[in-house]
Amino acid sequence: MHYVTKGTCSRAIDFDVVDGKVTNTKFTMGCMGNTQGVAALVEGMEVEEVIKRLKGIDCGGRGTSCPDQLAKALEQYLEENK
């Protein structure tokens, strides 16, 4: 899935979901060390668990963050794949 982020340094997130687990997460732009770290940490994790852990994380008072945007992208994925 391709998700265009809002309110973050990263511009987009691409990921796959296989058997309910997140895989192949890649952020476009953003703080590369942090986004690569987030991508590595969520690899193979259940979609719902990623959402639970990352939703609501704030970056610098923006009201969102790259991890929060990944949670939003996964929520959209779930909504589109009911």
Percent share of the chain, pLDDT over 70: 100
**Alpha helices (H) in the chain, listed in sequence order:** 32-42, 47-54, 66-80
DSSP at 62: S
pLDDT-based confidence at residue 67 (cuts at 50, 70, 90): very high
What is the arithmetic mean of pLDDT over 6-22? 97
